[in-house]
Structure 1
Amino acid sequence: MHAVILAGGKGTRLRPYTTRVPKPLVPIGETYSILEIVLHQLQSHGFTSVTLAVGHMGHLIRAFVGDGSRYGLTVEYTDEETPLGTIGPVLNVLDSLPEHFLVMNGDVLTNLNYGTFLQRHVQNTRPVTVATYNREIKSEFGVLDINDVGNQIIGFREKPTVHFQVSMGVYAVSRESLRDYTPGQVLGFDTLMLDLLAAQNFPGSDLFDGYWLDIGRPEDYDMANAQWEEMSAILLPHLISRAAD
């Protein structure tokens, strides 16, 4: 099994932590970087090879990860000279990828079993399967439903809670779903989704109810560190139990 990890962003929302270090290399709990956690997880879930899509401060990631042998993986690299979006970097290495593969952001902490997730994708007929997570937003205000024709209030909800599913930044992709795109072009996840929907080639959703934290902002990073003592055994059970022995 193969994974493409997107690690080329500048991490501007996470400054000042990313002023001198690329976001995937910021440490969690003073033990492992985010990227190390992901690599160890992939190996434990049955993956054997990884492509790291690097850009901003990519030389530091190359120096840190190397060929991946210390993680039990074979790691290769693809460089973004200019930002190509979420899916764009994948197009440059598409011919070297297996028929089905994982694409994921390099700043995600989750105990999702990546191997099982990819296997479920292989078993269905979807072009792309998105790992999804339940979220909710509670309004601070009473919400009015307005009839635009007569400006009449036809409904009222006192501080309602809206439930929805969000992308976890983890995708299982079938290679053929990307064949119509040109290597080197900018291609975001949003564009890919809209193109698939327009073609009625509907992506799949795989809802996850475990631990998930997208480290995009300083407060997310602070939360990850605060939770590390509790979550380390859940995120890296094979390593933490070995260290305890």
Structure 2
Amino acid sequence: MIAVIQAGGKGTRLRPYTLIMPKPMMPVGDQPVIEVLLKWLRRWGIHRVFITTGYMEHLIRALCGDGSQWDMEISYSAEPEPLGTIGPLRLLGGEIDEPFLVLNGDLITDLDLGEFITFHRRRGGPVTIGTTRKEIAIDLGVLDAVNDRLTGFREKPKEAYRVSMGIYCMEPSVLELIPRGVPFGFDDLAHEMLARDLPIYLYEHEGLWMDIGREDDFCRAQNGFLRDYKSLILGA
């Protein structure tokens, strides 16, 4: 199966670090996060990878090269201008004719990729989203009210949500839904598919997931990657 890694963003949430390097090259332990991601894909038998690039693409190309150091074949697709999270896939229309993976270039997970792909194939839909549960803390006192009368008070509550992991399995037919040359995010794709009554399936992962583009996850990864996660993800 082909994997597409999205690595074109500017990583504004991690500034000032991303002023000098693209977000997928931020270090996690002793390795850039995109290297961890590539080795994880290789562990699951993925050999063919496209990397969509934009911001500081020359640094990503210099690091990853042609992929031969990981027994992979890596090709690149440069955005002529920012095209959002899904828009760059339209540039690969002639390269993909089978189910494929799409991954954000700044994540770390121990997702069972074999089970995820099997789930997608069994459901038979055009898109499957890898999801996880994320607890969000609201660092304020939350007021419940009817009109102007208080009915309840919650001090710094935590709410759990089902969120996208930034990992998708897609059918080639999805590429036809993506417009050419304009920014198009996964939210746009989801709305378009819902409007057309096209099914999107959700695969829930209960294990490790970190979004390195978020400062708290980035710090958590630094504190524990070598000790707790490296062997779990890479088998090393």
Where does residue 55 of structure 1 map in the other structure?
54
Letter in 2 for 1:74: E
CA distance in 2, matches of 1:66, 1:119: 30
Match of residue 170 from structure 1: 167
Residue of structure 2 equivalent to 1:65: 64
Which of these residues, 217, 220, 234, is aligned with residue 232 of structure 2? 234
| SS of corresponding position for 2:94 | helix
Q: Using the TM superposition, give the Cα deviation of residue 120 of structure 1 relative to its aligned residue in structure 2, in angstroms.
A: 1.7
Residues 86 and 178, structure 2, Cα contact 8 Å, conserved in 1: no
Amino acid at match of 1:111: D
- How far 1:207 sits from its partner (Å)? 0.5
- Report deviation, 1:236: 1.2
Distance in 1, matches of 2:129 and 2:55, equals: 26
Give me the identity figure in percent: 37
Distance 1:232 1:51, change over 3 A: same
| Alignment map for 1:183-222 (pairs within 5 Å) | 183-222=180-219
Deviations 1:103-123 (A, max 9, x none): 110000111123431232122
Residue type of the alignment partner of 1:79: A
1:181 aligned onto 2:178: yes
- Do the aligned partners of residues 152 and 199 (structure 1) sit closer, same or farther apart at CA in structure 2, a change above 3 Å counting? farther
Deviation, structure 1 residue 26: 1.7
- Residue 177 of structure 2 contacts residue 189 of structure 2 at CA under 8 Å; is this kept in 1? no
- Tell me how far 1:179 sits from its aligned partner: 1.2
Find the aligned partners of 1:52 and 1:61 in 2 and give their Cα distance. Answer: 9
**Residue 15 of structure 2 is aligned to residue 15 of structure 1:** yes
TM-score (norm 1): 0.87
Unpaired segments of 5 or more residues in structure 2? none
Structure 1 residue 134: Cα displacement: 0.8
Does the 8 A contact of 1:99 with 1:176 survive in 2?
A: no
Q: Is contact 1:15-1:218 (8 Å) kept?
A: no
- Residue 115 of structure 2 aligns with which residue? 116
Report what 1:243 is aligned to: none
One-letter amino acid of the structure 1 residue matched with residue 17 of structure 2: Y
Structure 2-normalised TM-score?
0.91
Contact 1:47–1:115 (Cα < 8 Å) also in 2: no
- Partner in structure 1 of residue 24 of structure 2: 24
Instruction: Return the index of the structure with the highest Cα Rg.
Output: 1
Shift of 1:142: 5.0
1:21–1:119 CA distance, 2 compared to 1 (3 A): same
Query: What is the Cα deviation at residue 71 of structure 1?
Result: 1.0
**Which amino acid in the other structure matches residue 5 of structure 2?**
I
Question: What are the Cα deviations for residues 22-42 of structure 1, in whole angstroms up to 9, with x where unaligned?
Answer: 11112211x211011110110
Aligned residues: 233
Gaps of 5+ in 1: 241-245
